A and B are shown apart, each in its own frame.
Chain A
Amino acid sequence: MGAKDKTPSGKDQILELEEIRRQAASGGGDKRIKAQHDKGKMTARERVLFLLDEGSFQEIDALMIHRHQEFGLDEKRFPGDSVVVGFGKVDGRMVAVFSQDFTVMGGSFSEVQGQKVAKILDLAMDAGVPVVGLMDSVGARIQEGVFSLAAYSELFWRNTQASGVIPQISVMLGPCAGGSVYSPGLTDFVIMTRGTSHMFITGPKVIKSVTHEEVDFESLGGAGVHSAKSGVAHFAADSEKDALNIARQLLSYLPGNNAEPPPYVPPQDDPYRQDQALNSLVPTDTDEAYDMRQVIERVVDKTSFFPVHLDFAPNALVGFARLHGQAVGVVANQPNALAGVLDIDSSDKIARFIRFCDAYNFPLITFVDTPGFLPGVNQEHGGIIRHGAKIVYAYSEATVPKIAVIVRKAYGGAYIVLSSKHIRTDLVYAWPTAEIAVMGADGAVDVLYGKEIKAAENADQAREEFVAAYKEKFSKPYPAAASGHVDEVLIPSETRPKLIAALELLKNKQGSTRPKKHGNMPV
């Protein structure tokens, strides 16, 4: 056989492959890409490239096409279909990523999209790397019928399987409606973009026809409403790039999987630093508010506090931070909002964050200053018992190092939940301003000395005297320290080195739980 009869040379094959790759990379075509740009949005690939370290993206399944014929689908076949899938690095650490391509049939969730996303999730779980989903889709591909729904099922099932195994982040960059919202709803963190991303089960038209309520997209399911009211979104970004930067920043705190400790970052701050401003930050008047965020930021490594769910339930603060480079989860009451009281939303916010921290080995630091649970008919009828129980459950279940700093008020159930040794908090520190009691002085005096006050000649004076005596007894941390319920009373400025020393002690803490299939958390 002569040389002429041989199959095309390797060079031709490479040229052919390059042409196929070019086609795949063009998504839904130049016209649709331009339309996407005109809306101020990036394409699926541009988003992936922005998210990942330069040159690190490795795409897979770029050539998959669907097999459906109905409703003209046979004429709409695009290599890679409506999602870009692959893996790459963020700050040098591997992550898996999928990015819905709105230029291909509106990013509709097809059988192929489902298969591709399922594959990358399986790979991520096997490899133990976080997964980031960049969502921009009109929803299920109606033309594919049950195949599209089945694909969603596969995704939801995998989201659930991956929960607690690898961190999952959803970045919402476009519409997300109907059943498709459950995928981001199942992931650990949801980042929404103001103006361009919307999430809802039923849209404004359906709502109007059923309940006669008139509402627009933004008021119904925009970033503002989900980050502040519903709590569905953990972060609200001003732009796509801002959203992707938040994802990068978030990833810098997260371990690859549940068997790894959170990444250690060489510290830039002095472990011995004692911020003297802490000593005068808490007002002497116990009814006066102050910003707990300032306390946190003065204690943890400088600029390391990264709040999560900042706009939702502002009476509680949760977020990641670093102490001498060790990533920790921070939970705190915020006296600046509703006096730091615990209500339904803040209970949900705190409990969910604690469970994430416990699943991914973040030591928990709790700064306590709360008068307790919010009283009220709305709260009781809204299920404060059920929601409050979530915090109890989450703290009790957590086996990671748990350290509490009682800054000021720790009353009743809130003390039990947030800082009690008996709920297995490893170390409880208190500031000299700490008040540990069953309830506040005014309420307690009414219960304890109601008759005496009534019988007194001057009721107001008698009441004041009883309140003063109660405060003398319980408005200091020393009785609790004397009984061992508080491990040490700290000068506030000592808090940082004390916490670092405590983290050193508990670094290799072995937790233990009873064997069980799973608990039955009050959800």
Chain B
Amino acid sequence: MNEFGQGLSLSGIGILITFSALGILILLILILKALFPNKDNDLEISGSEKSPLLQNDPSREELRKKAAAVGVTVLLSKRSFSGKGELGSELEKPVNAWWQRGLGRIQGKE
């Protein structure tokens, strides 16, 4: 086999491997779809350009309420004044030069 023929056969083997892999992946997706059906609709809705707030589907109302409740809980847990952050510590310090300067300006001393 000359060099040209050798290159051609190697290219053929590469193409064969690539398409075989693709075929296997397609097969895998089909198997997975067969195992987990009816998920496509939800993906399509969530991909919609409409804001979830504008959706009026009554079947989603309950889900939205639950999501809102979870959201509020998460929000409250994040910002609840649970003793962290040393709330009020700034008030325990004396006023600083920034305050004095502002007062001086109002009183016409600057």
Q: Which of A259, A267, A494, A515 contacts B88 (CB 8 A)?
A: A267
Per-residue CB contact flags for chain A residues 131-146 toward chain B (1 = under 8 Å, else 0) read 0000000000000000
Q: Within 8 Å of chain B (Cβ to Cβ): is A8?
A: no
Interface residues on B, range: 20 to 34
Q: What per-residue 1/0 map shows which CB atoms of B13-44 lie under 8 Å from chain A?
A: 00000000000000000000000000000000
Bound Cα distance A259, B88 (Å): 23
Binary B-proximity of A479-523 (CB < 8 A = 1, otherwise 0)? 000000000000100100100110111011111110100000000
Quick check: is A361 within 8 A (CB to CB) of the other chain? yes
With a CB–CB cut-off of 8 A, which chain A residues contact B105? 510, 512
Interface size class of A (residues with CB under 8 A): 20 to 34
Q: Determine, out of B2-10, B55-63, B79-87, the stretch whose residues face the partner at the interface.
A: B79-87
Q: What would be 29 A-B contacts, judged by CB atoms less than 8 Å apart? A: A259-B103, A261-B99, A264-B91, A264-B92, A267-B88, A271-B87, A271-B88, A272-B82, A272-B87, A274-B81, A324-B87, A324-B92, A500-B87, A500-B91, A503-B91, A504-B88, A505-B90, A507-B90, A507-B91, A507-B93, A507-B99, A508-B96, A508-B98, A508-B102, A510-B98, A510-B99, A511-B102, A511-B106, A515-B108
Q: B54 contacts the other chain (Cβ, under 8 Å)? A: no
Set of chain B residues within 8 Å of A512, measured between Cβ atoms: 102, 105-106
Q: Chain B residue with minimal CB distance to A496?
A: B81
Complex: chain B residue closest to A513, CB-CB? B106
B69 to chain A, nearest CB (A): 14
Complex A-B, nearest 10 residue pairs according to Cβ-Cβ distance, in ascending order:
A510-B102, A504-B90, A324-B88, A271-B88, A497-B81, A508-B99, A272-B81, A271-B87, A326-B91, A508-B98
Q: A326-B91, A504-B89, A513-B106 are in contact. Are A494 and B96 (CB under 8 A)?
A: no
Question: Do B87 and A497 touch (CB < 8 A)?
Answer: yes
A325 and B92 contacting across the interface, CB-CB below 8 Å: yes
Name the residue of chain A whose CB is nearest to the CB of B83: A272
Q: Is the C-beta of A103 less than 8 angstroms from some C-beta in chain B?
A: no
Tell yes or no: A334 within 8 A of B by CB: no
Does residue B66 face the partner (Cβ distance < 8 Å to A)? no
For residue A429, give the distance in angstroms from its CB to the closest CB of chain B.
14
Task: Write out the residue numbers on chain B whose beta carbons fall within 8 Å of the beta carbon of A323.
Answer: 91
Docked Cα-Cα span, A279 to B63, in Å, equals 26
Which residues from chain A contact B89 at a C-beta distance below 8 Å?
Answer: 504
**Cβ distance B105 to chain A, nearest Cβ, rounded Å:** 6
Contact partner of B87 (CB less than 8 A), chosen from A259, A491, A501, is A501
Q: Kindly state whether residue A399 has any CB partner on chain B within 8 Å.
A: yes
Contacts of A511 in B (CB 8 A): 102, 106
Given contact pairs A494-B81, A508-B96, A508-B99, A399 touches B91 in the complex (Cβ within 8 A): no
Q: Tally the A-B contacts, defined by beta carbons under 8 Å.
A: 69
| Chain A, residue nearest B99 (CB) | A508
B64 in the interface (beta carbon within 8 A): no
Chain B residues with Cβ below 8 Å from A508 are 95-96, 98-99, 102
Residues of A at the B interface (CB closer than 8 Å) are: 258-259, 261, 264, 267, 271-272, 274, 323-326, 361, 399, 491, 494, 497, 500-501, 503-505, 507-513, 515
Residues of B within 8 A of A (CB): 76, 81-83, 87-96, 98-99, 101-103, 105-108
Residue of A nearest to B97 (CB): A508
**Shortest distance from the beta carbon of A496 to any chain B beta carbon, whole Å:** 9
Q: Which residues of A contact B94 (CB under 8 A)?
A: 261
Q: Which residues of A contact B102 (CB under 8 A)?
A: 399, 508-512
A501: chain B residues within 8 A (beta carbon): 87
B101 contacts across to A, CB distance below 8 A: 510
Q: Could you tell me the distance in whole angstroms from the C-beta of A433 to the nearest C-beta in chain B?
A: 17
Residues of B within 8 A of A361 (CB): 103
Quote the shortest CB–CB distance from A253 to chain B (angstroms). Answer: 15
Q: How distant is the Cα of A361 from the Cα of B100 in the complex, in angstroms?
A: 11
For A498, the closest partner residue in chain B by CB is B81
Q: Which residues of A contact B90 (CB under 8 A)?
A: 503-505, 507
Docked CA distance A92–B63 (Å): 62
A325-B91, A500-B91 known; 5 new pairs, CB 8 Å cut-off, are A271-B81, A272-B82, A399-B106, A507-B95, A510-B98
The chain B residue sitting closest to A260, CB to CB, is B95
Q: How far is the CA of A259 from the CA of B100 in the complex (A)?
A: 8
Distance between A60 CB and nearest chain B CB, rounded to angstroms: 29
A96 to B107, CA, bound (A): 24
State the CA gap A494–B79 with chains docked (Å). 10
Complex Cα distance, B101 from A326, in Å, reads: 20
- Quote the shortest CB–CB distance from B7 to chain A (angstroms): 66
In the bound complex, residues from chain A placing their C-beta under 8 Å from that of B95 are 261, 507-508
B81 with A504: CB separation less than 8 A = no
A326 to B87, alpha carbons, bound, how many Å? 13
A440 to B96, CA, bound (A): 44
* Distance between Cα atoms of A102 and B81 in the complex (Å): 56
Inter-chain contacts of B91 with A (CB < 8 A): 264, 323-326, 500, 503-504, 507
Q: How far is the CA of A210 from the CA of B81 in the complex (A)?
A: 65
B residues less than 8 Å from A271 (CB atoms):
81, 87-88
Q: Which residues of B contact A258 (CB under 8 A)?
A: 107
Residues on A with C-beta less than 8 A from B107 are 258-259
B99 and A500 form a contact (CB under 8 A): no
**Chain B residues near A515 (CB-CB < 8 A):** 108
Q: Which residue of B lies closest to A165 (CB)?
A: B107
